[in-house]
Amino acid sequence: MRINVTRSSMPPFEEYVEAIRPLWDSVWLTNMGVNHEKLAGELCSYLGVPNVSLFVNGHMALEMTLQAMDLEGEVITTPFTFASTTHAIVRNGLKPVFCDIDPEDFTIDVSKIEGLITKDTCAILPVHVYGCLCDVEAIEKIAKDHGLKVIYDAAHAFGTEYKGTGVGNFGDASMFSFHATKVYHTIEGGAVTTADTGLMERLWKLKDFGIRDEEVVDGIGANAKMNEFCAVMGLCNLKYVDSEIEKRRTVFERYREGLSGIDGLKLLCPQKDVKPNYAYFPVVVEEEIFGADRQSVIDSLRDEDIFVRKYFYPLTNDMDCYRGRFDSSNTPVACHIADRVITLPMSATLATDDVDRICGIIKSCRGGRS
């Protein structure tokens, strides 16, 4: 049976059907309906944050957060991320300035941020990667010292905590993705968490065409609202997310048991004071030591109908759409990791036997054996 790199968690079918049944009576399918508002409230409680603004997807949540802050100039960020992060910056007329990553957890290297700050810097946009959290304390200090906004891309970090505090409480705002491939999903969707009530008001208008009321449109916005069907899926999935994370923990630990201590394979280490969500299981293949390159490992797995992903590759500062605009040699650690990383299949339903089989195939590639 084919094993994909991700598999969406689903609530019981009958439960979802019953939950959407009232929509046939109300015929209120979008425009911030009852389920939309209920989900926002329940997410505030679950994430331990004061405010949640829901969106059609994570990208629009991030793009509109940057727009709502009315930023100008340069934004320091990381190239080791999904295309959306960089696109959101550029589509707002801002210039991304790429900072290298930490070789241990692949998040932005805080020791290199201040060297990139100029008179044009307006914000820092760090990315929590694979569920690993950025050094939020160091970033907060840097931002405070230089008067900069901080917007976190927390697409991978739903449910994570640092020293008992939900990750959505750090920075000026955090964006979460609720795409179907994530630990928690609403089919498609996203959210912004923030303590700034003014920002919440601006986001509300931006995602609803700039409409203030039935007769007043005093802003230029877009349509980025979450619909009721997605909100219901979110409400259903939220009931099970803790048990889903616990199942993912079992898979994660089985991988670590099977792949730890192998020369040439680099695994992420648990972070101190972080409650993880086990979003992904990345492996960095060091060909010179392991004896086989990344592609041979990928091919060996694919031969067995197991599909992994080069995630993140290419770096965003190497993507064709930005060709000639950036020099990825300025981020050598990110280049090194991007050229060697594989994310292995990870889901709450992945069987222990399948994890063991995946580990066995990877180990059989050592020294060119397959």
What average pLDDT does this structure show over 189-209? 97
> Identity (one letter) of the amino acid at 118?
T
pLDDT at 368 (0 to 100): 54
The answer to whether the beta carbons of residues 102 and 133 sit under 8 Å apart is no
* Model pLDDT for residues 229-244, shown as the tens digit of each residue: 999 999 999 999 999 9
pLDDT tops 50 at residue 369: no
- Mean residue pLDDT across the chain: 97
Q: What is the pLDDT of residue 214?
A: 85
Report the pLDDT value the prediction gives residue 201, as an integer from 0 to 100: 96
Amino acid at 159: G
Q: Are 191 and 185 in contact (CB under 8 A)?
A: no
Residue 16 in this model has a pLDDT that exceeds 90: yes
Alpha helix stretches (DSSP H) within the chain: 13-20, 22-26, 34-47, 58-68, 83-90, 136-146, 197-206, 228-238, 241-259, 287-290, 294-302, 332-338, 352-364
pLDDT attached to residue 370: 41
pLDDT of residue 367: 78
pLDDT at 213 over 70: yes
What is the predicted pLDDT for the residue at 237? 98
pLDDT digits (tens, 9 = 90+) for 290-339: 999 999 999 999 999 999 999 999 999 999 999 999 999 999 999 999 99
The DSSP secondary-structure symbol of 114 reads G
Can you give the pLDDT at residue 280?
98
Nearest one of 287, 257, 240 to 11, comparing CA atoms: 240
Which residues, including other chains, have CB under 8 Å from residue 140's CB and lie 6 or more apart? 150, 170, 171
Contact at 8 Å (CB) between 89 and 137? no
Task: Report whether pLDDT(137) > 80.
Answer: yes
Class of domain 13-238: alpha beta
Domain 241-368 in the same topology as domain 13-238: no
Give the C-alpha separation, 329 to 349, whole Å: 39
Percentage of residues in the chain having pLDDT higher than 90: 97
Q: pLDDT of 254-274, one tens digit each?
A: 999 999 999 999 999 999 999
Instruction: For residue 313, count other CB atoms closer than 10 A to its CB.
Output: 15
- Is it the case that residue 168 has pLDDT exceeding 70? yes
Spell out the domain ranges in the chain.
Answer: 13-238, 241-368
Which numeric CATH code is attached to 241-368? 3.90.1150.10
Phi, psi of 201 (to 5 degrees): -65, -40
Per-residue model confidence as pLDDT tens digits over 52-97: 999 999 999 999 999 999 999 999 999 999 999 999 999 999 999 9
